[in-house]
Structure 1
Amino acid sequence: MPLSLAEKRLSDDILFANGDPKFDRGLQRRAKEGHLKRVAPGVYVQPGTDEEVAGRIKRNWQKIAAHAVPGAVVSHRSALTGGITPSDEVVLSHPTRFNRRIRYPGLTLVLLKGPGPQPRDLRLGSLDLYWASQERALLENLGRAAATTRAARDDIEERLITSLNASKEAGLNQIRDRARELVEPLGAQTSYDVLNGLIGALLSTHSKGVLKTKAGLAIAQGTPIDMERMRLFDSLATVLRTVVLPDIADIADQGNSRIHFAFLESYFSNYVEGTRFSVEEAEGIVLRNQIVAQRPKDSHDILGVFNLAYRSDTRAMVPPAGEDFVDVLQERHRIMLERRPEVDPGNLKLEANYAGTTQFVQPSHVRGTLAEGSRLALSIPEGIARAIYYLFLVAEVHPFADGNGRLSRLVMNAELSRRERCRIIIPTLFHPQFVDCLRALTQSERPEPLITALSRMATWSAEFDYADVASLIASMRSAHAFEESPAEFRLLNADGSRAT
């Protein structure tokens, strides 16, 4: 017998009774038949071993928390450790439901008394669940809650040190100012006094007796630099100073050609990072301002990259070398992702990030490494050589929680436009090969594949006519630019010959 629509939904990892008698009875029936496992009143998961059930619950802990304690805030230790603590607990604050634990296989919700969501607490998607702002989390972890629900004092100090290295004194002052606004709603005067003392000690490194960690005590020695990365950057720079590279004049620097080039640059750059529209939808977003109602943030991602690639004040302006390089990069990131508060637009990362087994530059070393790496760029010939270096510099440091790939390509192309050279588009079909070339440099210190790949894409990008967008899209479609499988398709040039 075919399943009803309600029963088809039972294939999900986790399901909740919703008050619909027919649906709820279906859940109960399926549980009795062994097709579901009831783990709490109104909460069902797909059956399996104890380990499998616990894994499903952990993967869906946000949905479970929102169902069990609507309006709660992920707080205290959980807000600083990504949610689930090492003891398989999630700490939640709620104004009326507190001093209790809700247990599931492999997960315990720990409910503490605290106010509901504050203005800077982040709502988790469409769930009735919130994540404490950084300032709220710091105050709560410096409070009087049980030690098992609070982060260690050294962890808080390390967090502040990371903020100082990432955002300089202004970042710590902003934390202090925002925390002050929460003193009354959280009843956190004592916690604020402790936080204020830590911040004051970090900003006045001669203070004694307040800082405890080695990093805190050593902060006066200057902004740290990732020396292994600097050695890798120097290796790339050495090759770029002597290699022969194509020198292609900008073929789309005026009028409609400039608009259409920036549109496709944004389209491809976003698509390979997961912001996926059909090229027709993206054309409507950029050229006719037709925001997709169901995906406003994704729509603005397309516009964010387009505007940076098109506008005169950003298109051909490379961030200046040194400390200012970082500040301008942060402003570009803010513009690009301003509609995504969840990725902290404009602020450097506070957590380490990875691509597979590769760990990018530690948050505490980002500012110093970018500043020093950008100074090294000035020793490389202008144009495509320096553009390739800029791309790898930003991609390898990975300074932000999100948007690093898009930003690295924008900085690369800004250098090309600054020298009136043709910008580079990396089409969807070529992206896997491009990533392999980045990996060859990161993991094997082989710069030649990346240099060859970007040189080829510079030539490829310059072969198309960008005057008419319909003809341009048709030509790129014929070249297989929009395809995703290198196993099934080969990237072609505008004349139909093989590009790679």
Structure 2
Amino acid sequence: MNTRRTAHIPPHAAGVYLAEDFTSTRARQRQVQSGVIMPLARGVWTDAVGAEPADVVAAKWQEIVGRLLPTAVISDRSGFALRPVDGELFVSHPRSTPLRLPGLTVYPDGSKDHRRPDDQPLDLQGRLFASSPVRALIDNAEQRGRPGYVRRRLTREELHDQVVRIVTTYTPAQVDSIMASVDRDVNKVAAASIRVFVEAARGECRTVATTSRAMRAAQRRETYDAARVGLFRRFAADLTRQKLVQRFVESVSRAANVPFYEAYFSNHIEGSTLDVNEAERVVFGGEDVGKPGDAHDMRGTWQIVSDDAEMGRVPGDAEEFMDMLRDRHRVVMAGRPDKSPGMWKQGANRAGTTTFVDPAHVVGTLRAGWEEGEALSDPFQRAVYMMFLVSEVHPFEDGNGRSARIAMNGELIADRQHRIIIPSVLRSDYWSALTRATADHGPHGLYRVLDRAQRWVSLGDFSTLQAGSRYCLVTDAMYDAGVAERRGKYLRILRPGEIDELPVPSMAELGDETDTTKSWVEIAAREASPSARGRRSGDPTADRLADRHDHG
């Protein structure tokens, strides 16, 4: 080995040495004293001087275990992951006492006959081996062990999870081959148990009582995306550590037209080309504005979000939740029959580098996701969770973002709290926060964006369309996110009463001559028009809110 002192060596590039690697004990001691190496564990040294010992072990555990326990087989509860989990690694090896390393304890089983023909080497030297899937199944199906001692084998629930993973990730032919080997194993009792578990995971029988969500779903022939469900579990746990947010609706009249802006912005951030004037004519006048697709989307979304009874409906279980999702989607997408309104997607969908849940796993993943969020009791936290759940599964061919935000606001409306609206200026922040949550960076960024969006709604005057549009203008809410970034605009949060002190900005002040901006200014600047009072849409809810608009 190199006997000269070297620059700092990162853990992944560290050298690991045993006593046999040194010419003498004295030579080793000199290198320790000169700072060339440092002790890592009993009988183990490394040249990553100054590094955290646990970091070196985490990077070099295969080499260390292979050298200290030659021919060891990673087995028992480690036999599926084939790596340390929670600082523990279980192996089959003649040694009977634990091997304790910084950040890792290795538990050998003391077996003298620890190798099997189908074990696979993990290194070229043949010092460390991996259990085959057959061995991992048999080892964990055996229910032996010393009470009170460290549990070497998976619980029944954990074993059922692994059986389902094998059945859903391996090809049918591969599973058949594994089962043929299981049937030939000398441990006939364990083999018989595995056979029953595999048949249950394949949906061929429903006789296995289990606490495993994966196995229950499989017996219903309802598989789910295990990685996504793990993400939902962590997301829900992290949500409980966020600050509580409560903003109750104190003035129903000031919030009267919030549903209109919710529907408008929810479609606009998805690419709708309707300006706010056209959206008003579609919703309150039933007019043809020459954009049939966008008009159908606006009206469909409006029909749901303006229905107080529907939006306040709280599902009692996963079945009701999924039925409600489809019912609402059927209305939102009614004008797009080619997008399968109210039906789960049949093809895969993606956005950028994100691939959403496979169509075959939609129902199971929604059910499991619902269960992961059941413990959340705070309405705002539940709102954030439900939005993320639906967005992450993407259960429909189209309209998933709108469905997610409707599910979000349903949780708030049921508790008489202000809705969350994502205005155009927040679009980039919203998508960015969603992307970070998808990448398992937690809910903090998304929580912060939605908190700001709800605060903006709670401070606004939406008693009429004129008042609401004025509020959107003076707070810069209507700016396209890209335009806002170039001009240094952001969503302004005003003090109570401050809006009354600010005039409606002119087109020159806005510096934007587009038809979209003109429509905002036109609505905000006009007085309630008597001529508008005879207009009816044929929708009782729309007519009721139109009266609020007309009579202010």
Shift of 1:317: 1.4
Q: Deviations over 1:118-175 (max 9, x none)?
A: xxxxxxxxxxxxxxxxxxxxxxxxxxxxxxxxxxxxxxxxxxx9xxxxxxxxxxxxxx
Distance in 1 between residues matched to 2:404 and 2:314, nearest whole Å: 11
2:278 is matched with 281
SS at match of 1:249: coil
1:419 aligns with 2:415: yes
d(CA) in 2 for partners of 1:419, 1:272: 26
Match of 1:4 in 2: none
Cα contact 1:430–1:486 (8 A) shared by 2: no
Question: 2: CA distance between counterparts of 1:258 and 1:446?
Answer: 31
Q: Which residue is 1:490 aligned to? A: 490
Q: Secondary structure at the match of 1:486?
A: helix
Matching residue of 1:117: none
What is the CA distance between 1:287 and its match in structure 2?
2.5
CA RMSD of aligned residues (A): 2.4
TM score, norm. by length of structure 2: 0.49
* 2:293 aligns with one of 291, 297, 303: 297
**Corresponding residue for residue 222 of structure 1:** 221
User: Deviation string for 1:154-213 (max 9, x for gaps)?
Assistant: xxxxxxx9xxxxxxxxxxxxxxxxxxxxxxxxxxxxxxxxxxxxxxxxxx968xxxxxxx
Q: Which moved more, 1:322-331 or 1:488-497?
A: 488-497
Q: For 1:17-28, list aligned pairs within 5 A.
A: none
Is the deviation greater in 436-445 or in 295-304?
Answer: 295-304
Q: Secondary structure at the match of 2:314?
A: coil
Q: Distance in 2 between matches of 1:260 and 1:415?
A: 19
- The answer to whether the 8 A contact 2:356-2:393 is kept is yes
Contact 1:269 1:426 in 2 (8 A): yes
Query: Does the CA contact (< 8 Å) of 1:440 and 1:446 recur in 2?
Result: yes
CA 1:358–1:287 in 2, change beyond 3 Å: closer, same or farther?
A: same
Shift of 1:277: 1.0
Structure 1 residue aligned with 2:306: 310
Q: Which entry has the higher C-alpha Rg, 1 or 2? A: 2
d(CA) in 1 for partners of 2:439 and 2:278? 37
1:267 matched to 2:303 = no
Q: Is the 8 A contact 2:238 2:442 kept in 1?
A: no
Which residue does 1:167 correspond to in 2?
A: none
Q: CA deviation at 1:493?
A: 1.9
Superposed, 1:96-245 pairs within 5 Å as: 222-245=221-244
1:443 aligns with 2:450: no
CA offset at residue 234 of structure 1? 0.9
Gaps of 5+ in 2: 1-167, 169-202, 206-216, 500-552
Q: Would the alpha carbon gap of residues 312 and 378 (structure 1) be closer, same or farther in structure 2, given more than 3 Å must change?
A: same
In structure 1, stretches of 5+ residues that fail to align are: 1-160, 162-203, 207-217
- The Cα of 1:258 is off from its aligned counterpart by 4.8
The 8 Å contact of residues 241 and 381 in structure 1, kept in 2 or not, is answered as no
Map Cα deviations across residues 363-410 of structure 1 (whole Å, 9 max, x no partner): 000001101211222201231011000000000000001000011000
Q: Distance in 2 between matches of 1:444 and 1:386?
A: 18
Partner Cα separation in structure 2 for residue 445 and residue 225 of structure 1: 22
Post-superposition offset of 1:221:
5.8
Q: Distance in 1 between matches of 2:377 and 2:452?
A: 18
2:303 counterpart SS class? helix
* Distance change >3 Å, CA 446–CA 241, structure 1 → 2: closer
Letter matched to residue 277 of structure 1: L
Following the alignment from structure 2 to structure 1, what is the Cα–Cα distance between the partners of residues 221 and 281?
A: 48
2:245 corresponding residue in structure 1? 246
1:251/1:422 contact within 8 Å kept = no
Match of 1:145 in 2: none
CA–CA separation in structure 1 for the residues paired with 2:438 and 2:280? 35
Pick one of 443, 457, 474 that aligns with 1:478.
474
- Conserved 8 A contact 1:269-1:406: yes
Give the CA deviation at 1:222. 2.5
Which 10-residue stretch deviates more, 355-364 or 274-283?
Answer: 274-283
Query: Counterpart amino acid of 1:486?
Result: A
**Cα distance in 1 for residues equivalent to 2:274 and 2:403:** 19
> Normalising to structure 1: TM-score of the pair?
0.53
Contact 2:312/2:414 (8 A) holds in 1: yes
